[in-house]
Each structure stands twice: as structure tokens, then as C-alpha cells.
Structure 1
């Protein structure tokens, strides 16, 4: 298959990165990639769906991965997977000899192994420059569910209309379910047999990089997990803090131990992000050297500094994110052409063990099986966002009153970086705005 042909199939069927920010997958297909990586590192604690999906559909996903490698002309296809996922690794080993040029790379149980910059270094030894893209190093990275969506688009012409979501923590029966895009978080959580705490908090995504959501929020193409947590949980409290107070706390109690920088995954790969210098400068209103502020642009927001490293429970990640946002709003772009310094020899001793991370965050008791149920959950209504990806929102091509079938395109790709959006249920369009489309079963 030609690259342009595959790009068109992927774009029209709405395939985007299913594990991160939703980068349109068709744009990753290029003959500049000599290596492609499958990300099955399940970056955050408690997330399980990628290893489950890969175990159950190993052949289909590996076949698609091989097809992508042949299409772009990559000489190597690497499956990055944690060695502790023994059942999934065994499923891969059953088929690996069928796909020349493909190999399995076993990863340690550390965080943030799923960060593509970290994964690329672990699997290939290549370092992506600060602010750079993996393709500059000849690498393209795809996660497991994304490749499964490519498989369904290519083999069956099926667009992305549903999402796999793990529901864990304070629920009776942790589970990974398949739900229509646009259903509510509450409808997803109902599949886990009920909530076990009063005044629950819906935490969407992983515990390190996720956000607090509302029960009525719609599921999107990047919704990976819902953690139900008590309102007094450490993670919830950290997310609800105020930046202005965090800055004052830093000014009063930061002990200058430098641990936030010592354990920073990007800093250890030679990137110029330095949380300790930033905290020292920001808390003292020191603007003699602007580099600590400008280099905030290179922070990956993994949260190691804030959620694990700091002995004073300060908030470097949050304050760095505020600074990144301020720079963007001011039209200040990250410095171009910055090259990393050599990877630190001490990096191997500064990795964050996931088991210890879960214990520190009070999550160990939630680390339970969440079996995969692929039965599509029925819902009466969906609210499908037109922007579920990086780039321009899709443009609605239906109007209120139209009857639509599941899988029908309801939002066409816009000019520029964009993908199609499709009906996730069969029914009647009841509302169309510039942000979303509502469909109700009749």
C-alpha cells in the first residue's frame, strides 16, 4: 500500500493517537521513518487497557504494525512492552517469527516509560532533541489501541466510533469496557458495579497526568481511564491546589535539595528543563536569568517532580505548566535548535519504580485486575465533540433532524491537520453546534 493511500484511509476513518493528546495518526506516516515503535508501556499506574488489548488481539495488531512498517519503508519495527506484562509478552512471542524485522524490547517497570521520548531512548538509544519530534531521529511511535483502530479501518473500513476505557479505584468491580464515543463518564462508571465512596471524584486519565472531570463529561478518542477517588485523596488534593499559594509555599519552604531536577526524566536525557532552578527563580521573583523560565517549554508535565520527588510536597509541574501557558499566550515559542547535552550516567539510578510510586500516591490497594469486556455498552444518547484531536476541529456535515447510522461520517476533516468524526450510535441528530453533535436513539 502507498503511504498516501494509507494516510487517506486513516484520516477519513478518524484515527488519532488513542493514548495521549490525540495527534492525527496519518501525519506520522512518512518515508523518513527508518524505525517504528509500538508503545505498550502503559505509562501511568493502574492503566491496563493496552496490555489487555494487545494480548487479546496480538496477531491483528502485529499484522497492522508490520503493514505500517512496510508502507513507510522502515527497516525495524520494535514493540516496547514492560517485562512484567508476561501474558501479553507470551501472546506476542507466538507470532513474532511471522513478521521479519519486528522485535520485542522488554522495558523496566518504571515511570514514565510510556513518554515517547523516554521510550525511544530505551528502545533505540536515540535522543530526541528538546522540543523536537521523534521523526527527526527517524522514529515514529504508535500506541496499541491506535494500531488496533488502524487495523479496523484498513481491514473492515470501520471508523473510530468507540473507546476502550479502564474504570478502577473506588468501584465494586474494576473493569475495562468498550463504550461509544460521546457517552458520559457516569455511564462508563456504571459498568463497574457501583461506586464505593460518598462524594466521589471522577479522575480522568492516569493519576500522574490526568484531570478532574465531571460525571456528565463525554468520552473522547483519548479517554483511557476513569479513576473514582474519595474527595480527600492525595491526588485530588494536589489537583485542587491554587498556583498563587503554591508559589508562596515554594518561597517559604523549598529547601533547595534539587531532587526535582535529579529525578526529572527529561533532564536526565540531557534536556535543559531544570525544575529546581525554575522554582528558585520563580519563588524569589528573580529575572536576572530568563533561561529557567524559557526552558519551561521543554517540560513534559510527567509530574515526577511534583507527585514523587519533592519532600516538601511543592508543585513544580503545576507552576511550570502555568509558565508554559503564559509563554504560549504571549506568543513566545520554545527556543529552536537546542541540542541535548550527553545523557547523564546517573540516569539508570534515578528511574522511578512504579511500585514505589503507587505506594507514595496511596494507590497500591487499587492495583487490581480490571478484566476486558469488549461488549459495546448501549447508551440512549451521545454528545460527540468535533475536536477530539490536535489540529483543526472537524466540520459538521449533518443538521438537526437528520437520521444517521453508526459509523456514518458526521464531521468532515477540516483544512490542515484534521480528521473525520463519525456517529457512534444509530439515531437522530438533535443538536449541532460548532463544538459538538448530539445524537439520540429513536
Structure 2
């Protein structure tokens, strides 16, 4: 191995001496992809060495208290990086052979391999090896398209694709465990400071945090263009305002005040019977019990909006995407709909696919949710957005980027 690593080091020397400025655009992009792949493969080799060293106990034999402490000193790493290196080596060592092979060949990154290993290890025992193999194959396919964070979110619902009969039961069990942990750890602390201030700290369960966010978000907006408060200061002021309103009249703003406007992506029967998990408009999953508790004190908004009380198509009468129409837009897009953007819905505005000034209507079929950056980018004219046949937005890149202008979609906010 030492000889092979010496050859690899010599090849790296050649790359360092090569002039990047002399590469064409295509060569530059290809070189970046190749360097990344080689780097990931070498990282996998290093993890294998760390795992073998840890298994042999060489670090302890040399007097170190642990392998991570020894690595910190020998490789001059931070304590956190050394611990992560040992943990990652153990995680990948326990991964299915297909995942390890994909990491070693550079088909997936080391971080993606960690996500896949942890996802497969978390599958219920009753799923069996056959289901685990199917999940592994699907996750490796997904890894070709998604970053580790998105891959982790998709992995939470992988059973819905490979074993639908087990998916609901497994998700409910996982949600129950997570809810129990969150409820056990919940706390709020008010600590008096010497200067008369009070330090507020704590941890909230998902249900309580959702209630707090619904109440506090509408009051956090800057008060005009000359508002110099930081986001943290605005949140603190909003919390004080909520307390004052609650003590006085309970008259909170319609868009997030008196009671949370709960968007439930399930049938009414499923909600009433409490047999499936629910999803808030933020994408957070809740147990059926939590959904039913919120429903007792909330205005529950069905996933299919419309009817006499909730009209989606407001035509030319209104220009802004507000009220039930905005909630429907958030429910459909989940956040900024531009490909690859992870901005949440509360940072986004509704955009007319066909501009209002050109006769476009304020309807769900003429709307797309965009963050500020991509809203400005779209108005520059190089990118084009349209609503596809399945009523979801897709974006056409400029011709200089993709001569075929192949439609692209945001898969980050997709709910499996």
C-alpha cells in the first residue's frame, strides 16, 4: 500500500504543478469532478486504515487514552475532527458491502456513505435482509442526485418505496420514540443576570415549537426599511409583544396569531381516526396524537383547498399571494421552488409565472414560490419558469448553460 500511496502522491505533485489557468472551461469542470472523486476515494482509504488501527488497539498500546486522542496528536487534528474520523470509520465499516463498494469507487461521497449506512442501520428488524437490500440499492441510486442532507431526509421515508406495508408502522414507531425523547428533554430556563437582564434558554418539543413559531413569525418582520434591529432582537421583541397581547386581549395577527393555522396533508378520516402521521406546512412530521391535539385548538386547513370558505382562484381581483392561496402555494412548493434551493417558505414570496402587468392571474396555476435571490434571478430573464402538466413548477435554464434547455425541478422540498 505504501508504494501505491507514493505513486498517488507523485500524481498529486503533477496536478499541483499543472496550470489551472491554461485549462478550457470544459477541462476545468472535468478536472474538478475528477479531483473530488479521487479525494473521496483517498478519504475512504484513510477511514479503512483508521478502522484497522482502532481494531488493533495500536493507539492504546502506545499509551493514548483512545484512538481519537492519538489521531489528534499524530495528525494534528482538532478533538472534534479526530472523534468524527473514528466514528465515521466505524459507521462505514458496518455498512452493507454495496455501500462500502460505492464509497471506494467514488460513486458516492464519504458523507453520503455515512448517511446511507445510518439509514439502513435504522431500518426496523422486522423489515428483513431482503428489504434492506432493496433500500440500499434505491439509496445508492438516489445518491447520484442528492446531497447528504436531502438524502438523509429521503432516507426517512425509504420504506414507503421498498416496503409500503411496513412504512406507516415504522414511521409511527420512530415518531413516537422521537416525541417521547423531545417531551422528556423539554425545558425553559429564565436565568437572572447581574445587569438586570434575564437569559432565556431551553428546548421545545416539535408540537410546542410549531405553536411558538406560528405565533412569533408574523411579528418578526422589520418595521420598515430603517429598522436596524438584528433578527435575534426582532424575535425577542416579538416574544414580548405576544406576552403583552395574551395578557391584554389575546388579539394576535390573523396570519399567525390567535390559533395556529395547521395544514394537514392527510384525509379527514385519517385525522379523525388517528392512524397516520401528519405534516405541518413547514414539513415537520407529527404523530397522530399531536395532530389531534392541535386540531382541538386550531383551525385545521385541509390539504385540498377550495370551496365556499377557502377560495383559491381570486383571478384579477387581487395581485398579492395571501391567505389561503399562499398557504396552498406553500403546501405545493414547500419552499423556494428553484432547483437546488433550500430556502424555507417563510423566506419566500409568490411570483406570477405570467406577470400581473401582462395579464397574469393571481391563481395557484400561475404561481411559484421563490426566495429573494431567485426571484430577482428569474426577473433578469435568463431562466424561465412554467407550470408543468402535473401542476408543479419547472425551470428552463438559459441556452448558454444548457442548449437543450432541459426542464429542472427542486427536489429538496419533495415529500415522499
Larger radius of gyration: 2
Structure (1 or 2) with the greater helix fraction: 2
Structure (1 or 2) with the greater strand fraction: 1
TM-score (norm 1): 0.23
